[in-house]
Amino acid sequence: MSEIIITVTGVDKVGIVASISNYLKDNNVNIEDIKQSIMQDNFVMIMLCSIEKLQIPFKEFKEHLIELGKSLGMEIWIQKKDIFDKMHTI
């Protein structure tokens, strides 16, 4: 149960993917899948990541990532993947 979904939304600008990917790399978080699109003028990026090798507490990882998002003007949600699997699968 080490898969998480990172959802990034906000106004598109240069460097969003790079900044977030760097942060993930620094924390040994592997990106398994990534999808991005523009919805109603908003940039939306969803990443499926594995936190199996995460070295720091999850809470700390999450808070820093949300802060990083704020500094980029983006809203970031980080959730374990099974909440989506449960909610939308019979």
Partner 1 sequence: MLNFNQRQILETIEMIKIHHLDIRTVTLSLSLRDCITTDSTTTANKIYDKILKYASNLVSYANELEDEYSIPIVNKRIALSPISIIGEANTDCDYVKIAKMIDKAADAVGVDFVGGFSALVDKGFTKGDLKFFESIPEALSSTNKLCSSVNLGTSKAGVNMDAVLKTAEVIKKTAELTKDLDSIGAAKFVCFCNAVTDNPFMAGAFCGVNEAECALNIGVSGPGVVASAIKNLDKTADFGEVSNLIKKMAFKITTTGELIGRKLADKMNIPFGVIDLSLAPTPAIGDSVAEIFKAMGLEQAGASGTTMALAMLNDAVKKGGIMASSYVGGLSGAFIPVSEDSGMIEAVEKGSLTIDKLEAMTSVCSVGLDMIAIPGDTSKYTIAGMIADEMAIGMINKKTTAVRIIPVVGKTVGDTVEFGGLLGYAPIMPVNSFSSEIFVKRGGRVPAPLHSLNN
Q: Which residues of the chain form contacts with partner 1 (CB under 8 A)?
A: 5, 7, 32-33, 35, 37, 39, 44, 46, 48, 58-59, 62, 77-84, 86-88, 90
Instruction: Show the tokens assigned to 60.
Output: 């700390």
Supply the minimum distance, in Å, between the C-beta of residue 12 and partner 1: 16
| CA–CA separation, 85 and 77 (whole Å) | 16
For partner 1, give the closer residue by CB, 28 or 79. Answer: 79
Dihedral over Cα of 12, 14, 15, 17: its sign: positive
Whether 16 and 74 have beta carbons less than 8 Å apart is answered as yes
For partner 1, give the closer residue by CB, 32 or 67. Answer: 32
For partner 1, give the closer residue by CB, 21 or 50. Answer: 50
